[in-house]
Amino acid sequence: MRDYTLIQAILDASHDGIIAVDRDSTVIWVNKNALEILGLPPHVVGEKITRYIPQSDLLRILATGKREIGDIATVLNRQIIINRLPIVIDGQTVGAVSTFKEFTDIQKMELRIRKQSMESGLEAKYRLEDIVGHSDVIREAKELAETFGRTEATVLILGETGTGKELFAQGMHLCSQRAAGPFVAVNCAALPGNLLESELFGYEDGAFTGARKGGKPGLFELAHGGTLFLDEIGEMSLPIQALLLRVLQEKKVRRIGGERVIPVDVRIIAATNRDVEERIRMSQFRSDLYYRLNVLTLELPPLRQRLEDIPALTWAIIREIAERGDKTIESVSESLFKLFTQHDWPGNVRELRNVVERMVLLSKTARLERRDAAFFEKKLQKRRQTDGAAAVAGTIPAAEDEAEMILRVLQQTRGNRQEAAKLLGVDRTTLWRKLKKYGHGST
């Protein structure tokens, strides 16, 4: 009797509701919270559970012997989160128990945010040790990134397009104390001004026409406890720069159309492939924001400064393709690597990835040969000719040619920019920038 009273007191002390049934679905134990949440009378013990809850889910647990964790249900107009488990003794299911609690607004929000962040892949995958390359320049960059990563300071990554800025940002996040928190990346150049503002800061219900019902948390809120990676920071408009600076100073955000001030704990890693200092001179970038972002600087080398890494990078790409199950390559000819070293790779590792992927997918054997690279040789030749002509004329390659080529490729891909960028061997942002430059920004 003493044991019974003691156990009952312990169960009643739990914040969760607990109700257990035996193999015949007779209630054998229930605590105070369960009675309260389910609205049951105190004398349910000894009665069939179906008398009070005709469709009780515990019947299913008795039948299947399988646990069900994290189910959400509405009971008496309240949302509850439930775990149901079989009670197993000596390998036999002798009953079932359900533990549950009210689902608070905070938990609801957490669940929604977690779901959103998983859907849009807001988790860092690459660790610094996954970044391929043994050249001195990349080794130094990795060492520096590791040192920077462990601090809480803001880091500015400088590097040409495709040099791995996002990979390094992920790597720094994963070696920081925030590794278990979210990693949220946003490309400031890919979103027009007002869209970038609502992405970063979120909005309240009814903030503007077309705003999602219930409002939307901004990326700062989603990155709470983690890292926010702001790529192409140099492209950010002046009004958004001012808002960003305020958030960095105050560590609080206010959603568009909202009154509430939401505290955020976010580490910023920013990146740019443009000379921000030049933009400061042209009054297009705020110097106070630049100094705040540029506490630590990590410069990433272009691929042409680490040509010795090409074989390792090529093999890493080949392995990834094989893992996807697309195609397996067993050997690569030395002459192909030699050809690769003759190129200056303006699109860096992203361009190398595109070239290798194309070759692997087109190759008919398990060996990559120089002859598989006919399309690449053509590209090289064309580039040499253009460079030669430019050198003779003392000009840069004609802009019209580039604009025409981009539009032609876009036509070919029926306006699909991602595909066009891939065919052109540039990233989407570069393509977007070029279109803007040639006056086709909104096409």
Ligand X SMILES: Nc1ncnc2c1ncn2[C@@H]1O[C@H](COP(=O)(O)OP(=O)(O)OP(=O)(O)O)[C@@H](O)[C@H]1O
Segment near ligand X (CB under 6 A), from 39-47, 92-100, 159-167, 414-422?
159-167
Report the nearest approach of ligand X to the CB of residue 365 (Å). Answer: 25
Q: Which is nearer to ligand X, 343 or 350 (CB)?
A: 350
Query: Is 231 an interacting residue with respect to ligand X (CB under 6 A)?
Result: yes
Query: For residue 236, which of 282, 268, 272, 277 has the smallest C-alpha distance?
Result: 272
How would DSSP label each residue in 42-110?
GGGTTSBGGGT-TT-THHHHHHH---EEEEEEEETTEEEEEEEEEEEETTEEEEEEEEEEE--HHHHHH
Q: Which is nearer to ligand X, 163 or 176 (CB)?
A: 163
User: How many Å from the N-terminal Cα to the C-terminal Cα in the chain?
Assistant: 79
Cα separation, 247 vs 258, in Å, equals 15
Q: Of these, 273, 336, 431, 434, which contacts ligand X (CB under 6 A)?
A: 273
Query: For residue 403, which of 380, 436, 357 has the smallest C-alpha distance?
Result: 436
Report the nearest approach of ligand X to the CB of residue 189 (Å). Answer: 9
Residue type at 325 in one-letter notation: G
Cα separation, 408 vs 410, in Å, equals 5
Count of chain residues binding ligand X (CB under 6 A): 20
The answer to whether 354 and 431 have CB atoms below 8 angstroms apart is no
The answer to whether 19 and 38 have CB atoms below 8 angstroms apart is yes
Q: Of these, 18, 75, 113, 132, which contacts ligand X (CB under 6 A)?
A: 132
Query: Is 164 an interacting residue with respect to ligand X (CB under 6 A)?
Result: yes
Q: Which is nearer to ligand X, 166 or 197 (CB)?
A: 166
Question: Which tokens belong to 208?
Answer: 């503007």
Question: Which tokens belong to 157?
Answer: 């990554």
H-type alpha helices, 230-362: 238-250, 276-281, 287-293, 310-323, 334-341, 348-362
Per-residue x/- track, 304-343, ligand X (CB under 6 A): ---------x--x---------------------------
Report the nearest approach of ligand X to the CB of residue 158 (Å). Answer: 10
Task: Give bridge partners of residue 98 from the DSSP assignment.
Answer: 19, 84
Collect all residues with Cβ–Cβ distance below 8 Å to 130 and sequence separation of at least 6: 167, 171
Q: Of these, 427, 433, 434, 435, which contacts ligand X (CB under 6 A)?
A: 427
Give φ, ψ of 50 to 5 degrees. Answer: -65, -15
Report the nearest approach of ligand X to the CB of residue 409 (Å). Answer: 18
Query: Is 286 an interacting residue with respect to ligand X (CB under 6 A)?
Result: no
Segment near ligand X (CB under 6 A), from 125-133, 212-220, 244-252, 390-398?
125-133
Residue list 165-204, contact with ligand X (CB under 6 A): 165-167
Report the nearest approach of ligand X to the CB of residue 72 (Å). Answer: 37
Query: Is 429 an interacting residue with respect to ligand X (CB under 6 A)?
Result: yes
Check the CA dihedral 255-257-258-261 and report its sign.
Answer: positive
Query: Is 211 an interacting residue with respect to ligand X (CB under 6 A)?
Result: no
Q: Which is nearer to ligand X, 221 or 427 (CB)?
A: 427
Query: Is 434 an interacting residue with respect to ligand X (CB under 6 A)?
Result: no
Report the nearest approach of ligand X to the CB of residue 371 (Å). Answer: 26
CA distances from 177 to 27, 157, 164, 182, 251 (A): 47, 19, 22, 12, 18
Q: Of these, 17, 86, 95, 162, which contacts ligand X (CB under 6 A)?
A: 162
Report the nearest approach of ligand X to the CB of residue 193 (Å). Answer: 19
Q: Of these, 56, 117, 163, 241, which contacts ligand X (CB under 6 A)?
A: 163
In what order do the strands lie in the sheet containing 27-30? Answer: 27-30, 17-22, 92-102, 78-89, 68-75
Q: Which is nearer to ligand X, 183 or 203 (CB)?
A: 183
Query: Is 425 an interacting residue with respect to ligand X (CB under 6 A)?
Result: no
Angular region, 342: left φ>0, alpha ψ -120 to 50, beta rest: alpha
Question: Which tokens belong to 72?
Answer: 């959400």
Output the residue with the shortest Cβ distance to ligand X. Answer: 164
Query: Is 226 an interacting residue with respect to ligand X (CB under 6 A)?
Result: no
Residue type at 170 in one-letter notation: Q
Question: Which tokens belong to 318?
Answer: 């080949």
Q: Which is nearer to ligand X, 139 or 212 (CB)?
A: 139
Report the nearest approach of ligand X to the CB of residue 437 (Å). Answer: 16
Report the nearest approach of ligand X to the CB of residue 220 (Å). Answer: 20
Contacts with ligand X, residue ranges (CB under 6 A): 131-133, 159, 161-167, 231, 273, 313, 316, 349-350, 353, 427, 429
